[in-house]
With several copies, the nearest count.
Chain A
Amino acid sequence: MREEVIIAGYGGQGILFMGSVLANSAMVEGLEVTFFPSYGAEMRGGTANGGVVISNKKIGSPIVTRPSSLIIMNELSMKRFYPMLKKKGTVIVNSSLVKEIPKSKEVKIIKIPATQFAEVLGNEKVANMIALGAYIKETGIFSLDSAIKSLHSLLIADKKVLVDINEKALKLGASDEY
């Protein structure tokens, strides 16, 4: 089993946090995992992305060049990463911000208006967890529980107050309510 995900969006959309939760959840389930976020000047341009590799075997390169899944939070990222997707891959797309969604029979496209949903929950910033919830539901690569556990261990100190809303968002994304 080997899953390679690219998550991508603007700086400010919590892309790196989403990656951490994703990777942490895999770890919690005892899987091998690497998460390689973009960094430095690349982020100055206002984009953020990262690659997560999850496997039950030792992982070689942490760089994802042929992702099996994408979590796409904005338009630009769609343009950049969609062409890299593997055949039969899955795309979770934040349909609040991504308008041009390609049609293809070869890949599975899950649209979720994450930003809108997040606004409803009261904080635009949790769009990332909504998308992640959708991803978990879709791929079933690990349990929602592990993700919630990860949330709790990653949001510490002054960020503890954010656990609730993030948890809600995760659950919303993973639910069938949309």
Chain B
Amino acid sequence: MIRIMHKILIKGNHAVVEGGIQAGCMAYYGYPITPQNEITAYMAKRMGEEGRVFIQSESEIAAINMVFGSSLTGARTMTSSSSPGISLKQEGISYMAGCELPGVIVNVQRGGPGLGNISGAQGDYFQSTRGGGHGDYRTIVLAPYSVQEMFDFTIKAFDLADKYRIPVILHTDGYLGQMYEPVLVKELKSDRKTKKDWILDGCKDRKPRMIRSLLMDEGELEEHNWKLNKLYDKIKMKEASCQTCFTEDAVVAIVSYGTSARICESAVNILRGKGIKACLIRPTTLWPFPEKTISTIAKKVKNFLVVEMSLGQMVEDVKLAVNGMSRVHFYGSPGGGIPETKVVVKKVKEIIK
């Protein structure tokens, strides 16, 4: 499977591209926007080198609909953008979900709302996990917290997308996109082509197919919704994942993901150094949310601190998982600010006082 491995220092945005290349991404469509421009630019170079498809589309809307087109031929396909551009893709994502089309959408989040700023942020959690588009649908949402995971999770995103025929969002941010870190790049031998018996490629030797989301017959759409719901339940069962540390004896659990989880990791180490029994729960899938893990921990740990680079979004999922068993506190830094390690430490101390 793995051909070569080598360690290089690259930007998170570049790691996403390399991950895509290794995963067998055959087409990339994107429109420039800071802080993810390196993805588009580096894709232009790499896809050209690999003889695959690259288009700088006229807009984010065109990009997601090109993804729709390539995906329905069975090709692994990706688009990337940052917050405002992701908002524009919502209709398209809803269509892909409705048509059960796989595809990878990378959101290198920046500060919002509106034009906001170009710093890293986590204000699009609701949009990613609840579906910013219309209708009852879900997308798998992966949350890397290092450049290595930017690479690894991109590959995972393609695999999950194909496995479940679902759009997958790589939910990251400007800090992770812009940061350089050492990455172990695995060159994968397999071209990771999944057999797909639903694609459109001309009806030679088979009946014509259609791919559509308009279901006007009596009860047809409702049935489709329930079918999707079953798929979503399956994914919830199988794919929810998170990383935990120090949970065994903890009295406070910090829940955080992505960039903010790095700060919390440092904070937990400091707290442990001071003899304070804190633990970290870091969801790596935001949808499905690792609610079981959290609710299990909530049976013992009576205080939770959720740390996000937002006004508080994931905190709702934590509360839903905790379901009143423990108290849930919040520390947020919206607008592109990064939480401070010492504030996290202070908050934990306050909580256990």
Question: Within 8 Å by CB, do A and B touch in the complex?
Answer: yes
A residues in contact (CB < 8 Å) with B: 19-20, 23-24, 27, 32-37, 39-42, 57-63, 65
Q: How far apart sit A23 and B179, CA to CA, in the bound complex (Å)?
A: 11
Q: Assess the B118–A61 pair: CB atoms within 8 A.
A: no
Q: Assess the B118–A27 pair: CB atoms within 8 A.
A: no
Q: Assess the B178–A61 pair: CB atoms within 8 A.
A: no
Q: Assess the A60–B341 pair: CB atoms within 8 A.
A: yes
User: Of B175, B182, B264, B269, which contacts A62 at CB under 8 A?
Assistant: B175
Q: List 29 A-B contacts (CB under 8 A).
A: A19-B180, A23-B180, A27-B7, A27-B182, A32-B182, A33-B9, A34-B179, A34-B180, A35-B179, A35-B180, A35-B181, A36-B175, A36-B178, A37-B180, A39-B35, A40-B34, A40-B35, A41-B34, A42-B118, A59-B262, A60-B262, A60-B265, A60-B341, A61-B259, A61-B262, A61-B263, A61-B341, A63-B175, A65-B340
Q: Assess the B181–A34 pair: CB atoms within 8 A.
A: yes
| Chain B proximity of A31: nearest CB distance (Å) | 9
| Closest B residue, CB atoms, query A25 | B9
B residues in contact (CB < 8 Å) with A: 7, 9, 34-35, 118, 175, 178-182, 216, 259, 262-267, 269, 338, 340-341
Q: Assess the B175–A60 pair: CB atoms within 8 A.
A: no
Q: Which of A32, A35, A40 has the most CB of B within 10 A?
A: A40
Q: How far apart sit A57 and B34, CA to CA, in the bound complex (Å)?
A: 30
Q: Which of A23, A27, A61 has the most CB of B within 10 A?
A: A61
Q: Assess the A41–B341 pair: CB atoms within 8 A.
A: no
Q: How far apart sit A59 and B264, CA to CA, in the bound complex (Å)?
A: 11
| Chain A proximity of B321: nearest CB distance (Å) | 25
User: Of A36, A57, A58, which contacts B179 at CB under 8 A?
Assistant: A36
| Chain A proximity of B172: nearest CB distance (Å) | 13
Q: With contacts A39-B178, A40-B35, A62-B179 known, is A20 near B118, CB below 8 A?
A: no
Closest 4 CB pairs of A and B: A60-B266, A35-B180, A40-B34, A27-B182
What chain A residues lie within 8 Å of B269 (beta carbons)?
57
User: Of A20, A39, A40, A65, which contacts B9 at CB under 8 A?
Assistant: A20
| Chain B proximity of A29: nearest CB distance (Å) | 11
| Closest B residue, CB atoms, query A62 | B179
Q: A34-B181, A63-B175 are in contact. List 20 more A-B contacts (CB 8 A).
A: A20-B9, A27-B7, A27-B9, A27-B182, A33-B180, A35-B180, A35-B181, A37-B178, A39-B118, A40-B35, A41-B34, A42-B118, A59-B262, A60-B262, A61-B262, A61-B266, A62-B175, A62-B179, A62-B181, A63-B338
User: Of B7, B180, B181, B338, which contacts A61 at CB under 8 A?
Assistant: B338
Q: How far apart sit A24 and B183, CA to CA, in the bound complex (Å)?
A: 11
What chain A residues lie within 8 Å of B266 (beta carbons)?
60-61
What chain A residues lie within 8 Å of B181 (beta carbons)?
33-35, 62
Q: With contacts A35-B179, A58-B265 known, is A41 near B216, CB below 8 A?
A: yes
Q: How far apart sit A58 and B146, CA to CA, in the bound complex (Å)?
A: 11
Q: With contacts A41-B118, A60-B266, A63-B338 known, is A24 near B9, CB below 8 A?
A: yes
| Chain A proximity of B342: nearest CB distance (Å) | 10
Q: How far apart sit A41 and B110, CA to CA, in the bound complex (Å)?
A: 13
Q: How far apart sit A39 and B259, CA to CA, in the bound complex (Å)?
A: 17
What chain A residues lie within 8 Å of B341 (beta carbons)?
60-61
What chain B residues lie within 8 Å of A61 (beta carbons)?
259, 262-263, 266, 338, 341
